Chain A
Amino acid sequence: MIHTFSGWGHHVVLDVESGAVHLADELSLALLPHIRLPMAPDCPPAVARAAGADPAEADEAWRELYTLYKQGLLFAPAAELTPPTGRLKALCLHVSHDCDLRCGYCFAHAGDYGGARVTMDFDTARTAVDLLVRLSGARRNLEIDFFGGEPLLALDTVRRTVEYARAHEAEWGGKHFRFTLTTNGLGLDDETIDFLNREMDNVVLSLDGRPGVHDALRRTAAGEGSYEKVLPGIRALVERRDRDYYVRGTFTARNPDFADDALYLASLGFKHLSMEPVVLPEGHPLALREEHLPAVFAAYDRLAGALRGESGVSFFHFRVDLTQGPCVYKRLRGCGAGFEYAAVTPEGDLYPCHQFVGREAYRMGSVREGRLDPAVAARFAALTVSNKPSCRDCWAKYFCSGGCAAAALNMTGALDGRYALGCEMQKKRLECAILTAVDRMAGEAPAEARP
């Protein structure tokens, strides 16, 4: 299977199964749709005519395509690979089901996930860490994300959990923890910033972009906009940080022109940005609908264009590494929710991921039971791109890895359903990402020299 698209004067040809990426000229692009497999070594005269090309020129181009075909770089067959069974390696600790903001689009129902406003005590967090260490087996790199609600409302638990895990890394056979924290920025005083910059491998900071866009939905409990309240802390943290961070916004039906929000954040000096489509059920006034797609596509194009070259700003979804990316097994399996990754509520209940929290049917037990419900885990482990009919024939499958199970469930009622709108946005931003990478690489070393 191949996928072709054009932009910035490039005609990109992605060979889906091998992962190869080529740049075609007009003629070879015109020939590609005429190729039938197994490919003939010479250009059929009818094809040259149909492509409106000089027969000798067409034959020359065809032979080049044939060479790639023979090398397994064009129309490579699908390999039947089964990813190895995953082991738990990442936990999302909902240290607080309370939040000091009331955002209009929050999937956590203003932080409480439809339950009580509570925080996680250290004992529960410690039990969760122990569970992670035990279920991870020989895996060395473990991840813990402090999430909420607003995790800074349970800062004491965060601090003690980090301390506990770090103190035992060696004793647990050389485990290495990576901590991340996602915050709305309200609680960022100097001391907290120092702590986060010292201990967190990544900090995700929520800021929606232009002040009006941010304030319309990210409001305090008193109903005021929060932009002016969160910006100083977020700025101070980033200024003093020498490790990963993301300033992350959400876009909704109100701002499908979110490129302006991303570029606004870039103008404030933030270098690592992410803008995510809102996750809301159909019918919600803020939910993205089919009619928004042209504006959303235009926004991705505009953003990619603005960040082209040495902008110094990286947009999360445009960062695709065509040569050093993850192996095919990871790409087949996706996010790992429910078997490699799980979320823990303040009470210690386990769910496949943060977006399943509160859905009783998906509860996977409690950290105190010392295991992940195997029946739920098996359902999630089976969600590979090769098992999902709609993904199997999709060109984006090894980049997207089958999409978000939570979104599929929310939008289609089935874990393996196809959330068409999400797929369209995913494919668009992948084209932008591949184009960005290709554009950079095209100016570098001669192509044939690359592996």
Chain B
Amino acid sequence: MKHIRTISGATLKQSASGGGCGECQTSCQSACKTSCTVANQRCEQKKKD
């Protein structure tokens, strides 16, 4: 396409199919201890790939 280019697809929608296994890291434990950004965490299932 010429006018708009997709950089990343419907990742969020696809992620719903897994149901949420809960094995991933708790967000506040990682570095900050004061905020709750989750987007910089990784999915435990995808880590295995």
Mark A residues whose CB is within 8 Å of B: 13, 17-25, 27-28, 60-61, 64-65, 67-68, 71-73, 76, 79, 81, 83-84, 86-87, 89-90, 92, 139-141, 143, 145, 147, 178, 180, 182, 202, 204, 246, 248, 272, 274, 276-277, 279, 316-331, 334-337, 340-341, 353-355, 398-404, 407, 422, 426, 429-430, 433, 438, 441-442, 447-448, 450-451
Contact = CB atoms under 8 A, between A and B. Distances in A.
A321 B3 CA distance: 24
A86 B22 contact: yes
Given A326-B15, A399-B39, 15 more contacts: A19-B11, A20-B10, A25-B3, A61-B4, A64-B4, A65-B3, A139-B22, A141-B24, A143-B25, A316-B31, A325-B43, A330-B20, A335-B28, A353-B28, A441-B8
Interface residues of B, number: 44
Nearest to B40: A319
A249 to B, nearest CB: 11
Contacts of B33: 147, 182, 204, 276, 354-355
A334 B7 contact: no
14 contacts: A84-B20, A141-B44, A180-B30, A204-B33, A277-B34, A318-B40, A325-B11, A325-B15, A325-B38, A329-B16, A330-B20, A331-B39, A340-B22, A442-B7
Contacts of B10: 18-20, 71-73, 76
Contacts of A399: 37-39
A72 B5 CA distance: 15
B14 to A, nearest CB: 7
Contacts of A21: 6-8
Nearest to A355: B34
Most buried by A among B1, B22, B43: B22
A323 B43 CA distance: 10
Most buried by B among A21, A322, A328, A407: A328
A76 B13 contact: yes
A404 B20 contact: no
Contacts of B7: 21-23, 322, 438, 441-442, 447, 450
